[in-house]
Amino acid sequence: MKTALALAVAAFLATSTAPAMCWAAPAELVIWGGPVYTGAKTAKAEAVAVFGGRIAYVGTRAGAKAQVGPKTQIIDLKGAALFPGFTDSHAHLREIGNRELSLNLEGSKSAAEASGRVKAYLAAHPGTGPVWGRGWIETGWPEGRFLRKGDIDPISSGRPVLLTRADGHALVANSAALKAAGIDIATAAPAGGTIERGADQQPTGILIDNAMSLVAKLKYVPTEADRRAEFDAAFKVEAAYGWTGIHSMSVSWDDVLLLETLDAEGKTPLRVYNAVEGVEAGPLFASGPRATKDGRITTRAIKLYEDGALGSRGALLFEPYADAPGSNGLQLTPLPVMREAMKKAKAAGIQVATHAIGDRGNATVLDLYEQVAPAGGRWRIEHSQIIRPVDIPRFAKGGVIASMQPSHAIGDFHFAPSRLGEARLAGAYAWQSVLKSGGVVVGGSDSPVERGDALIEFYAAVARKDLQGFSAPNWHPEEALTREQALKLFTSSAAYARFAEAELGTIEVGKRADLSGFSVDLMTVPETAIPKAHAVLTIVDGKVVYRVP
Protein backbone atom coordinates (compact mmCIF):
# COMPACT_ATOMS: atom_id res chain seq x y z
CA MET A 1 0.00 0.00 0.00
CA LYS A 2 2.75 2.43 0.97
CA THR A 3 4.72 1.65 -2.20
CA ALA A 4 1.69 2.09 -4.42
CA LEU A 5 0.88 5.42 -2.79
CA ALA A 6 4.44 6.64 -3.18
CA LEU A 7 4.49 5.69 -6.85
CA ALA A 8 1.18 7.43 -7.45
CA VAL A 9 2.35 10.61 -5.73
CA ALA A 10 5.69 10.56 -7.57
CA ALA A 11 3.94 10.17 -10.91
CA PHE A 12 1.59 13.02 -10.10
CA LEU A 13 4.39 15.31 -9.01
CA ALA A 14 6.44 14.54 -12.11
CA THR A 15 3.67 15.95 -14.32
CA SER A 16 2.52 18.76 -12.04
CA THR A 17 3.41 22.35 -12.90
CA ALA A 18 1.43 23.98 -10.11
CA PRO A 19 3.42 26.30 -7.82
CA ALA A 20 1.62 24.95 -4.75
CA MET A 21 -0.11 21.61 -4.44
CA CYS A 22 -1.58 19.38 -1.75
CA TRP A 23 -1.78 15.58 -1.93
CA ALA A 24 -3.19 12.73 0.05
CA ALA A 25 0.01 11.46 1.64
CA PRO A 26 1.70 13.30 4.55
CA ALA A 27 4.97 15.03 3.71
CA GLU A 28 8.23 13.44 4.75
CA LEU A 29 9.80 16.85 5.40
CA VAL A 30 8.37 20.34 5.94
CA ILE A 31 10.50 23.49 6.23
CA TRP A 32 9.21 26.86 7.43
CA GLY A 33 10.06 29.69 9.79
CA GLY A 34 11.94 31.95 7.37
CA PRO A 35 11.71 33.41 3.89
CA VAL A 36 11.78 30.90 1.04
CA TYR A 37 13.24 32.22 -2.20
CA THR A 38 12.15 29.89 -4.98
CA GLY A 39 14.12 31.37 -7.87
CA ALA A 40 10.97 30.79 -9.94
CA LYS A 41 8.10 33.02 -11.11
CA THR A 42 6.48 32.88 -7.69
CA ALA A 43 9.62 34.31 -6.18
CA LYS A 44 8.84 33.95 -2.49
CA ALA A 45 7.00 31.51 -0.27
CA GLU A 46 6.58 30.67 3.41
CA ALA A 47 7.06 26.91 3.39
CA VAL A 48 8.23 23.89 1.44
CA ALA A 49 7.17 20.26 1.74
CA VAL A 50 9.12 17.28 0.43
CA PHE A 51 8.01 13.78 -0.52
CA GLY A 52 10.08 11.07 -2.17
CA GLY A 53 13.11 13.35 -2.50
CA ARG A 54 11.18 15.93 -4.53
CA ILE A 55 9.45 19.23 -3.89
CA ALA A 56 5.80 18.39 -3.23
CA TYR A 57 4.46 21.74 -2.01
CA VAL A 58 5.54 25.38 -2.16
CA GLY A 59 3.31 27.98 -0.58
CA THR A 60 1.95 29.29 2.68
CA ARG A 61 2.75 27.95 6.11
CA ALA A 62 -0.90 27.12 6.63
CA GLY A 63 -0.91 25.06 3.45
CA ALA A 64 2.22 23.20 4.52
CA LYS A 65 0.77 22.56 7.97
CA ALA A 66 -2.02 20.58 6.34
CA GLN A 67 0.62 18.23 4.93
CA VAL A 68 2.14 17.36 8.31
CA GLY A 69 1.60 13.79 9.51
CA PRO A 70 2.78 11.90 12.59
CA LYS A 71 6.11 10.97 10.94
CA THR A 72 6.79 14.25 9.15
CA GLN A 73 10.13 15.86 9.98
CA ILE A 74 9.66 19.58 10.60
CA ILE A 75 12.56 22.03 10.33
CA ASP A 76 12.04 25.52 11.72
CA LEU A 77 14.42 27.95 10.04
CA LYS A 78 14.14 30.34 13.01
CA GLY A 79 14.49 33.33 10.71
CA ALA A 80 17.13 31.88 8.41
CA ALA A 81 16.47 31.99 4.66
CA LEU A 82 15.95 29.04 2.31
CA PHE A 83 17.07 28.94 -1.32
CA PRO A 84 17.32 26.44 -4.17
CA GLY A 85 20.39 24.29 -3.67
CA PHE A 86 23.56 26.29 -4.27
CA THR A 87 25.93 24.66 -6.76
CA ASP A 88 29.64 25.39 -7.03
CA SER A 89 29.98 25.33 -10.80
CA HIS A 90 33.76 25.14 -10.83
CA ALA A 91 35.70 23.35 -8.10
CA HIS A 92 38.19 20.52 -7.74
CA LEU A 93 36.50 18.13 -5.36
CA ARG A 94 39.20 15.69 -4.30
CA GLU A 95 41.77 18.48 -4.15
CA ILE A 96 39.55 20.25 -1.60
CA GLY A 97 39.85 17.21 0.61
CA ASN A 98 43.59 17.05 -0.01
CA ARG A 99 43.88 20.66 1.17
CA GLU A 100 42.19 19.74 4.43
CA LEU A 101 44.48 16.76 5.04
CA SER A 102 47.90 18.06 3.96
CA LEU A 103 50.29 21.02 4.28
CA ASN A 104 48.13 24.08 3.63
CA LEU A 105 49.78 27.49 3.27
CA GLU A 106 46.54 29.34 2.58
CA GLY A 107 46.43 32.71 4.34
CA SER A 108 50.21 33.09 4.77
CA LYS A 109 50.89 36.82 4.99
CA SER A 110 54.53 36.70 3.90
CA ALA A 111 57.17 34.43 2.46
CA ALA A 112 58.65 34.28 5.93
CA GLU A 113 55.37 33.09 7.44
CA ALA A 114 54.92 30.49 4.71
CA SER A 115 58.44 29.21 5.36
CA GLY A 116 57.75 29.07 9.08
CA ARG A 117 54.64 26.98 8.49
CA VAL A 118 56.65 24.60 6.32
CA LYS A 119 59.26 24.31 9.06
CA ALA A 120 56.60 23.46 11.64
CA TYR A 121 55.04 20.87 9.33
CA LEU A 122 58.39 19.19 8.68
CA ALA A 123 59.06 19.01 12.40
CA ALA A 124 55.68 17.39 12.99
CA HIS A 125 56.05 14.99 10.03
CA PRO A 126 59.65 13.71 10.05
CA GLY A 127 60.92 11.57 7.21
CA THR A 128 62.99 11.65 4.06
CA GLY A 129 60.47 11.54 1.20
CA PRO A 130 59.20 14.55 -0.75
CA VAL A 131 56.76 16.88 0.98
CA TRP A 132 54.06 18.60 -1.05
CA GLY A 133 51.98 21.56 0.05
CA ARG A 134 49.82 24.18 -1.57
CA GLY A 135 47.96 27.46 -1.09
CA TRP A 136 50.58 30.23 -0.96
CA ILE A 137 50.04 33.41 -2.93
CA GLU A 138 52.36 36.40 -2.84
CA THR A 139 49.64 39.07 -3.20
CA GLY A 140 50.25 41.66 -0.49
CA TRP A 141 53.41 40.03 0.80
CA PRO A 142 56.01 42.53 2.07
CA GLU A 143 58.65 40.67 0.05
CA GLY A 144 56.73 41.53 -3.13
CA ARG A 145 57.72 38.29 -4.89
CA PHE A 146 57.05 34.56 -5.28
CA LEU A 147 58.45 32.02 -2.86
CA ARG A 148 61.90 30.80 -3.91
CA LYS A 149 64.06 27.82 -3.14
CA GLY A 150 66.17 30.11 -0.93
CA ASP A 151 63.19 30.52 1.41
CA ILE A 152 62.84 26.76 1.88
CA ASP A 153 66.39 25.38 1.69
CA PRO A 154 67.50 26.59 5.15
CA ILE A 155 64.61 24.88 6.95
CA SER A 156 64.21 21.65 4.96
CA SER A 157 67.41 19.77 5.96
CA GLY A 158 67.93 18.45 2.45
CA ARG A 159 64.43 16.96 2.20
CA PRO A 160 62.62 17.64 -1.11
CA VAL A 161 59.83 20.20 -0.62
CA LEU A 162 57.42 21.31 -3.35
CA LEU A 163 54.79 23.97 -2.72
CA THR A 164 52.09 24.76 -5.27
CA ARG A 165 50.85 28.34 -5.65
CA ALA A 166 47.18 28.85 -4.80
CA ASP A 167 46.12 29.00 -8.45
CA GLY A 168 47.67 25.61 -9.17
CA HIS A 169 49.61 27.04 -12.13
CA ALA A 170 53.02 27.42 -10.48
CA LEU A 171 55.06 25.80 -7.73
CA VAL A 172 58.30 26.34 -5.88
CA ALA A 173 60.72 23.45 -5.46
CA ASN A 174 63.62 23.62 -3.05
CA SER A 175 67.15 22.65 -4.11
CA ALA A 176 66.72 19.07 -2.93
CA ALA A 177 63.58 18.68 -5.04
CA LEU A 178 65.22 20.24 -8.10
CA LYS A 179 68.14 17.85 -7.73
CA ALA A 180 65.87 14.84 -7.27
CA ALA A 181 63.99 15.80 -10.44
CA GLY A 182 67.20 16.41 -12.41
CA ILE A 183 66.53 20.11 -13.00
CA ASP A 184 69.61 22.31 -13.33
CA ILE A 185 70.98 25.23 -15.32
CA ALA A 186 70.91 23.19 -18.55
CA THR A 187 67.31 22.00 -18.24
CA ALA A 188 65.01 23.37 -20.94
CA ALA A 189 61.41 24.25 -20.15
CA PRO A 190 58.77 22.24 -22.02
CA ALA A 191 56.37 23.97 -24.40
CA GLY A 192 53.73 25.83 -22.43
CA GLY A 193 55.92 26.09 -19.36
CA THR A 194 58.54 28.32 -17.76
CA ILE A 195 61.50 27.64 -15.48
CA GLU A 196 62.14 30.90 -13.66
CA ARG A 197 65.84 31.73 -13.45
CA GLY A 198 67.91 34.18 -11.47
CA ALA A 199 70.60 36.55 -12.74
CA ASP A 200 73.04 33.63 -12.68
CA GLN A 201 70.63 31.61 -14.89
CA GLN A 202 70.21 29.04 -12.14
CA PRO A 203 66.62 27.92 -11.46
CA THR A 204 65.01 29.90 -8.62
CA GLY A 205 62.76 26.96 -7.86
CA ILE A 206 59.68 28.45 -9.55
CA LEU A 207 58.14 26.21 -12.22
CA ILE A 208 55.15 27.59 -14.14
CA ASP A 209 52.38 25.63 -15.86
CA ASN A 210 53.72 22.78 -18.04
CA ALA A 211 57.15 23.05 -16.41
CA MET A 212 55.59 21.56 -13.29
CA SER A 213 55.54 18.24 -15.14
CA LEU A 214 59.31 18.10 -14.63
CA VAL A 215 58.79 17.25 -10.94
CA ALA A 216 55.73 15.02 -11.41
CA LYS A 217 57.79 11.90 -10.65
CA LEU A 218 58.26 13.20 -7.09
CA LYS A 219 54.52 13.24 -6.51
CA TYR A 220 53.15 10.70 -4.09
CA VAL A 221 50.61 8.46 -5.81
CA PRO A 222 47.62 8.27 -3.46
CA THR A 223 46.14 4.92 -2.59
CA GLU A 224 42.43 4.28 -2.92
CA ALA A 225 42.19 4.72 0.86
CA ASP A 226 43.84 8.15 0.52
CA ARG A 227 41.42 9.16 -2.23
CA ARG A 228 38.43 7.98 -0.25
CA ALA A 229 39.58 10.02 2.73
CA GLU A 230 40.02 13.09 0.54
CA PHE A 231 36.57 12.78 -1.00
CA ASP A 232 35.05 12.30 2.45
CA ALA A 233 36.79 15.42 3.78
CA ALA A 234 35.76 17.40 0.71
CA PHE A 235 32.10 16.42 0.99
CA LYS A 236 32.05 17.54 4.63
CA VAL A 237 33.61 20.91 3.82
CA GLU A 238 31.31 21.60 0.88
CA ALA A 239 28.14 20.58 2.72
CA ALA A 240 29.08 22.86 5.62
CA TYR A 241 29.35 25.78 3.19
CA GLY A 242 25.82 25.14 1.91
CA TRP A 243 26.72 23.65 -1.45
CA THR A 244 24.37 20.90 -2.59
CA GLY A 245 26.29 20.21 -5.78
CA ILE A 246 29.69 20.62 -7.39
CA HIS A 247 30.80 20.77 -11.00
CA SER A 248 34.14 19.06 -10.44
CA MET A 249 36.85 19.99 -12.93
CA SER A 250 39.85 18.06 -14.30
CA VAL A 251 38.71 14.76 -12.82
CA SER A 252 40.80 11.66 -13.47
CA TRP A 253 39.02 8.66 -14.92
CA ASP A 254 39.97 6.61 -11.84
CA ASP A 255 38.22 9.19 -9.68
CA VAL A 256 35.09 9.00 -11.85
CA LEU A 257 34.98 5.27 -11.21
CA LEU A 258 35.68 5.71 -7.50
CA LEU A 259 32.89 8.29 -7.15
CA GLU A 260 30.50 5.89 -8.82
CA THR A 261 31.58 3.20 -6.36
CA LEU A 262 31.18 5.56 -3.42
CA ASP A 263 27.70 6.42 -4.61
CA ALA A 264 26.75 2.74 -4.75
CA GLU A 265 27.97 2.54 -1.14
CA GLY A 266 25.84 5.52 -0.12
CA LYS A 267 28.88 7.73 0.52
CA THR A 268 28.24 10.66 -1.82
CA PRO A 269 26.08 13.12 0.12
CA LEU A 270 26.29 15.86 -2.53
CA ARG A 271 25.54 15.99 -6.26
CA VAL A 272 28.64 15.83 -8.49
CA TYR A 273 28.91 16.73 -12.17
CA ASN A 274 32.30 15.64 -13.53
CA ALA A 275 34.42 17.22 -16.23
CA VAL A 276 37.11 14.65 -17.04
CA GLU A 277 40.70 15.70 -17.62
CA GLY A 278 41.06 15.95 -21.39
CA VAL A 279 43.97 13.52 -21.73
CA GLU A 280 41.91 10.86 -19.92
CA ALA A 281 38.70 11.38 -21.90
CA GLY A 282 38.96 8.25 -24.08
CA PRO A 283 36.65 6.09 -21.91
CA LEU A 284 34.07 8.89 -21.75
CA PHE A 285 34.09 9.33 -25.52
CA ALA A 286 33.50 5.58 -25.75
CA SER A 287 30.66 5.44 -23.23
CA GLY A 288 29.04 8.80 -23.86
CA PRO A 289 27.36 10.73 -21.04
CA ARG A 290 26.97 8.57 -17.92
CA ALA A 291 25.28 8.81 -14.55
CA THR A 292 24.70 6.62 -11.54
CA LYS A 293 21.23 5.13 -11.09
CA ASP A 294 20.22 7.78 -8.58
CA GLY A 295 21.65 10.59 -10.71
CA ARG A 296 23.93 11.70 -7.89
CA ILE A 297 27.14 11.30 -9.95
CA THR A 298 26.98 12.50 -13.56
CA THR A 299 29.90 12.57 -15.99
CA ARG A 300 29.19 14.46 -19.19
CA ALA A 301 32.05 16.90 -19.81
CA ILE A 302 35.76 17.12 -20.52
CA LYS A 303 38.17 19.78 -19.31
CA LEU A 304 40.76 21.31 -21.66
CA TYR A 305 43.43 23.96 -21.00
CA GLU A 306 44.09 26.87 -23.33
CA ASP A 307 46.39 28.99 -21.11
CA GLY A 308 47.69 29.53 -17.60
CA ALA A 309 46.81 31.92 -14.77
CA LEU A 310 47.07 35.69 -14.51
CA GLY A 311 48.91 35.75 -11.20
CA SER A 312 51.78 33.61 -12.49
CA ARG A 313 51.71 35.45 -15.86
CA GLY A 314 50.64 32.35 -17.74
CA ALA A 315 47.32 33.76 -18.99
CA LEU A 316 47.60 34.25 -22.76
CA LEU A 317 47.30 37.92 -23.81
CA PHE A 318 47.22 39.69 -27.16
CA GLU A 319 49.60 42.35 -25.87
CA PRO A 320 52.48 41.80 -23.42
CA TYR A 321 52.04 41.98 -19.68
CA ALA A 322 52.23 45.54 -18.42
CA ASP A 323 54.68 44.45 -15.70
CA ALA A 324 56.59 41.95 -17.88
CA PRO A 325 56.91 43.42 -21.39
CA GLY A 326 58.74 40.37 -22.69
CA SER A 327 55.87 37.97 -22.00
CA ASN A 328 52.40 37.39 -23.49
CA GLY A 329 51.68 34.31 -21.39
CA LEU A 330 51.55 30.63 -22.29
CA GLN A 331 49.57 28.42 -24.65
CA LEU A 332 49.28 25.17 -22.68
CA THR A 333 47.73 22.90 -25.30
CA PRO A 334 48.52 22.91 -29.04
CA LEU A 335 45.53 24.03 -31.08
CA PRO A 336 45.38 20.85 -33.21
CA VAL A 337 45.18 18.77 -30.02
CA MET A 338 42.37 20.96 -28.67
CA ARG A 339 40.46 20.87 -31.94
CA GLU A 340 40.66 17.09 -32.19
CA ALA A 341 39.43 16.64 -28.61
CA MET A 342 36.52 18.98 -29.31
CA LYS A 343 35.53 17.06 -32.43
CA LYS A 344 35.52 13.77 -30.51
CA ALA A 345 33.46 15.39 -27.72
CA LYS A 346 30.89 16.70 -30.17
CA ALA A 347 30.54 13.30 -31.83
CA ALA A 348 30.04 11.60 -28.44
CA GLY A 349 27.57 14.17 -27.06
CA ILE A 350 30.06 15.36 -24.46
CA GLN A 351 30.20 18.93 -23.19
CA VAL A 352 33.50 20.80 -23.49
CA ALA A 353 34.74 23.03 -20.68
CA THR A 354 37.94 24.89 -21.54
CA HIS A 355 40.13 26.86 -19.16
CA ALA A 356 40.85 30.32 -20.58
CA ILE A 357 41.88 33.39 -18.60
CA GLY A 358 43.68 35.84 -20.88
CA ASP A 359 42.00 37.88 -23.62
CA ARG A 360 43.82 35.98 -26.35
CA GLY A 361 43.08 32.71 -24.60
CA ASN A 362 39.35 33.46 -24.53
CA ALA A 363 39.27 34.66 -28.14
CA THR A 364 41.09 31.53 -29.28
CA VAL A 365 38.65 29.22 -27.51
CA LEU A 366 35.69 31.13 -28.94
CA ASP A 367 37.24 30.70 -32.38
CA LEU A 368 37.63 26.94 -31.86
CA TYR A 369 34.08 26.55 -30.57
CA GLU A 370 32.71 28.43 -33.58
CA GLN A 371 34.67 26.17 -35.92
CA VAL A 372 33.81 22.86 -34.27
CA ALA A 373 30.35 23.44 -32.78
CA PRO A 374 28.85 26.54 -34.41
CA ALA A 375 25.33 25.59 -33.28
CA GLY A 376 26.37 25.57 -29.65
CA GLY A 377 25.89 22.71 -27.20
CA ARG A 378 26.26 24.51 -23.90
CA TRP A 379 30.03 24.39 -24.18
CA ARG A 380 31.76 26.40 -21.49
CA ILE A 381 34.77 28.62 -20.96
CA GLU A 382 36.06 28.16 -17.44
CA HIS A 383 37.09 31.47 -15.81
CA SER A 384 36.52 33.83 -18.78
CA GLN A 385 38.44 36.38 -16.76
CA ILE A 386 39.92 38.81 -19.28
CA ILE A 387 37.85 39.34 -22.43
CA ARG A 388 38.22 41.95 -25.12
CA PRO A 389 34.96 43.98 -25.17
CA VAL A 390 34.54 43.06 -28.84
CA ASP A 391 34.48 39.37 -27.89
CA ILE A 392 31.85 39.63 -25.13
CA PRO A 393 28.81 39.29 -27.48
CA ARG A 394 30.33 36.12 -28.95
CA PHE A 395 29.36 34.17 -25.84
CA ALA A 396 25.64 34.70 -26.44
CA LYS A 397 25.97 34.35 -30.21
CA GLY A 398 27.68 30.98 -29.92
CA GLY A 399 25.67 29.71 -26.97
CA VAL A 400 28.86 29.58 -24.90
CA ILE A 401 28.53 29.55 -21.11
CA ALA A 402 30.87 31.85 -19.17
CA SER A 403 31.81 29.87 -16.06
CA MET A 404 33.19 32.57 -13.76
CA GLN A 405 34.34 32.70 -10.14
CA PRO A 406 33.39 35.96 -8.37
CA SER A 407 36.02 35.60 -5.64
CA HIS A 408 38.78 35.78 -8.25
CA ALA A 409 37.82 39.39 -8.88
CA ILE A 410 38.02 40.48 -5.25
CA GLY A 411 41.42 38.84 -4.86
CA ASP A 412 42.90 39.67 -8.23
CA PHE A 413 42.35 43.41 -8.14
CA HIS A 414 45.34 43.61 -5.82
CA PHE A 415 47.60 42.58 -8.73
CA ALA A 416 45.55 42.51 -11.95
CA PRO A 417 45.94 46.26 -12.70
CA SER A 418 49.72 45.93 -12.64
CA ARG A 419 49.57 42.82 -14.85
CA LEU A 420 47.12 44.26 -17.38
CA GLY A 421 47.30 48.04 -17.27
CA GLU A 422 44.26 50.29 -17.21
CA ALA A 423 42.74 49.65 -20.65
CA ARG A 424 42.37 45.87 -20.38
CA LEU A 425 40.43 46.15 -17.11
CA ALA A 426 37.38 47.12 -19.17
CA GLY A 427 36.86 43.46 -20.05
CA ALA A 428 38.07 41.98 -16.79
CA TYR A 429 35.68 39.88 -14.69
CA ALA A 430 32.87 41.35 -16.80
CA TRP A 431 29.91 39.46 -15.33
CA GLN A 432 27.30 42.12 -15.96
CA SER A 433 28.50 42.82 -19.50
CA VAL A 434 28.26 39.15 -20.45
CA LEU A 435 24.74 38.96 -19.03
CA LYS A 436 23.62 42.17 -20.74
CA SER A 437 24.88 40.83 -24.06
CA GLY A 438 22.55 37.86 -23.64
CA GLY A 439 25.11 35.37 -22.41
CA VAL A 440 24.77 32.82 -19.62
CA VAL A 441 27.05 33.17 -16.59
CA VAL A 442 27.44 30.49 -13.94
CA GLY A 443 29.23 30.93 -10.65
CA GLY A 444 31.82 28.82 -8.94
CA SER A 445 34.71 29.16 -6.51
CA ASP A 446 37.64 27.28 -8.08
CA SER A 447 38.26 25.83 -4.62
CA PRO A 448 40.87 24.97 -3.40
CA VAL A 449 42.36 27.88 -5.35
CA GLU A 450 39.94 30.03 -3.33
CA ARG A 451 38.45 29.19 0.05
CA GLY A 452 35.22 27.87 -1.52
CA ASP A 453 32.68 29.49 0.82
CA ALA A 454 29.34 29.95 -0.99
CA LEU A 455 28.69 33.21 0.84
CA ILE A 456 32.04 34.72 -0.11
CA GLU A 457 31.20 33.96 -3.73
CA PHE A 458 27.73 35.52 -3.43
CA TYR A 459 29.18 38.58 -1.68
CA ALA A 460 31.89 39.02 -4.30
CA ALA A 461 29.29 38.91 -7.07
CA VAL A 462 27.10 41.64 -5.59
CA ALA A 463 29.73 43.81 -3.88
CA ARG A 464 32.80 43.50 -6.13
CA LYS A 465 34.87 44.45 -3.08
CA ASP A 466 37.31 42.49 -0.98
CA LEU A 467 36.34 41.18 2.44
CA GLN A 468 37.49 44.43 4.05
CA GLY A 469 35.13 46.41 1.80
CA PHE A 470 37.87 47.82 -0.42
CA SER A 471 37.68 48.12 -4.20
CA ALA A 472 40.11 49.86 -6.49
CA PRO A 473 38.75 52.98 -8.23
CA ASN A 474 39.40 51.45 -11.65
CA TRP A 475 37.69 48.14 -10.84
CA HIS A 476 34.47 48.83 -12.80
CA PRO A 477 31.78 48.61 -10.09
CA GLU A 478 29.16 48.55 -12.86
CA GLU A 479 30.08 44.90 -13.41
CA ALA A 480 28.66 43.90 -10.00
CA LEU A 481 25.44 41.86 -10.05
CA THR A 482 22.05 42.33 -8.47
CA ARG A 483 21.03 39.88 -5.74
CA GLU A 484 18.64 38.16 -8.16
CA GLN A 485 21.37 37.78 -10.79
CA ALA A 486 23.81 36.42 -8.23
CA LEU A 487 21.26 33.87 -7.03
CA LYS A 488 20.84 32.57 -10.59
CA LEU A 489 24.61 32.15 -10.92
CA PHE A 490 24.60 29.45 -8.25
CA THR A 491 21.17 27.91 -8.81
CA SER A 492 19.17 27.98 -12.06
CA SER A 493 22.08 28.87 -14.36
CA ALA A 494 24.23 26.23 -12.68
CA ALA A 495 21.50 23.68 -13.40
CA TYR A 496 21.32 24.80 -17.03
CA ALA A 497 25.10 24.46 -17.39
CA ARG A 498 24.84 20.76 -16.52
CA PHE A 499 21.69 20.11 -18.60
CA ALA A 500 19.53 19.69 -15.49
CA GLU A 501 17.24 22.72 -15.48
CA ALA A 502 14.16 20.45 -15.53
CA GLU A 503 15.29 18.82 -12.28
CA LEU A 504 17.31 21.39 -10.35
CA GLY A 505 17.89 25.10 -9.82
CA THR A 506 14.53 26.37 -8.52
CA ILE A 507 12.12 25.45 -5.75
CA GLU A 508 9.14 24.20 -7.74
CA VAL A 509 6.75 21.30 -7.38
CA GLY A 510 8.18 18.17 -8.97
CA LYS A 511 11.86 19.20 -8.88
CA ARG A 512 14.49 17.47 -6.80
CA ALA A 513 14.58 18.69 -3.23
CA ASP A 514 18.07 20.23 -3.20
CA LEU A 515 17.94 23.17 -0.78
CA SER A 516 20.39 25.54 0.91
CA GLY A 517 19.63 27.52 4.05
CA PHE A 518 21.72 30.47 5.26
CA SER A 519 21.68 32.36 8.54
CA VAL A 520 20.78 35.67 6.88
CA ASP A 521 18.43 36.75 4.12
CA LEU A 522 20.90 37.17 1.26
CA MET A 523 18.40 39.18 -0.74
CA THR A 524 17.88 41.97 1.80
CA VAL A 525 20.72 42.22 4.35
CA PRO A 526 23.48 44.82 3.92
CA GLU A 527 26.17 43.38 1.67
CA THR A 528 28.74 43.58 4.47
CA ALA A 529 26.69 41.04 6.45
CA ILE A 530 26.80 38.38 3.74
CA PRO A 531 30.35 37.01 4.19
CA LYS A 532 29.90 37.05 7.98
CA ALA A 533 26.94 34.68 7.74
CA HIS A 534 27.01 30.90 7.46
CA ALA A 535 25.10 27.94 6.11
CA VAL A 536 22.54 26.43 8.48
CA LEU A 537 20.99 23.74 6.31
CA THR A 538 22.04 21.65 3.30
CA ILE A 539 19.55 19.21 1.80
CA VAL A 540 20.08 16.91 -1.19
CA ASP A 541 17.28 14.78 -2.59
CA GLY A 542 15.21 15.64 0.47
CA LYS A 543 17.85 14.33 2.92
CA VAL A 544 19.54 16.62 5.43
CA VAL A 545 23.30 16.35 4.90
CA TYR A 546 24.28 19.33 7.06
CA ARG A 547 22.41 21.25 9.73
CA VAL A 548 23.19 23.79 12.41
CA PRO A 549 20.66 23.20 15.23
> In a structure prediction context, what are the per-residue pLDDT tens digits for the chain, which is 549 residues long?
333 333 333 433 333 333 444 455 799 999 999 999 999 988 999 999 999 999 999 999 999 999 999 999 999 999 999 999 999 999 999 999 999 999 999 999 999 999 999 999 999 999 999 999 999 999 889 999 999 999 999 999 999 999 999 889 999 999 999 999 999 999 999 999 999 999 999 999 999 999 999 999 999 999 999 999 999 999 999 999 999 999 999 999 999 999 999 999 999 999 999 999 999 999 999 999 999 999 999 999 999 999 999 999 999 999 999 999 999 999 999 999 999 999 999 999 999 999 999 999 999 999 999 999 988 899 999 999 999 999 999 999 999 999 999 999 998 988 999 999 999 999 999 999 999 999 999 999 999 999 999 999 999 999 999 999 999 888 999 999 999 999 999 999 999 999 999 999 999 999 999 999 999 999 999 999 999 999 999 999 999 999 997
Q: Is 287 helix (H, G, I), strand (E, B) or coil?
A: helix
Q: Is 482 helix (H, G, I), strand (E, B) or coil?
A: coil
pLDDT at residue 1, as a whole number: 32
pLDDT at residue 245, as a whole number: 98
233: exposed, middle or buried (C-beta count within 10 Å: 0-12, 13-18, 19+)? middle
Based on its alpha-carbon atoms, the radius of gyration of the chain, rounded to whole angstroms, reads: 24
User: What are phi and psi for residue 480, nearest 5 degrees?
Assistant: -65, 155
Closest by Cα among 297, 264, 299, 303 to 280: 303
Go through the chain and tell me how many residues it has: 549
What is the CA angle 254-256-257, rounded to 5?
Answer: 65
pLDDT at residue 472, as a whole number: 82
Q: What is the pTM of this model?
A: 0.91
Number of CB atoms found within 10 A of residue 254's CB: 12
CA end-to-end distance (rounded Å), the chain: 35
Which residue spans of the chain are classified as CATH 3.10.310.70?
Answer: 100-218
Which residue spans of the chain are classified as CATH 2.30.40.10?
Answer: 1-84+505-549
Q: Is 90 helix (H, G, I), strand (E, B) or coil?
A: strand
100-218 topology per CATH? Diaminopimelate Epimerase; Chain A, domain 1 (3.10.310)
CATH number given to 1-84+505-549: 2.30.40.10
| Amino acid residing at 192 | G
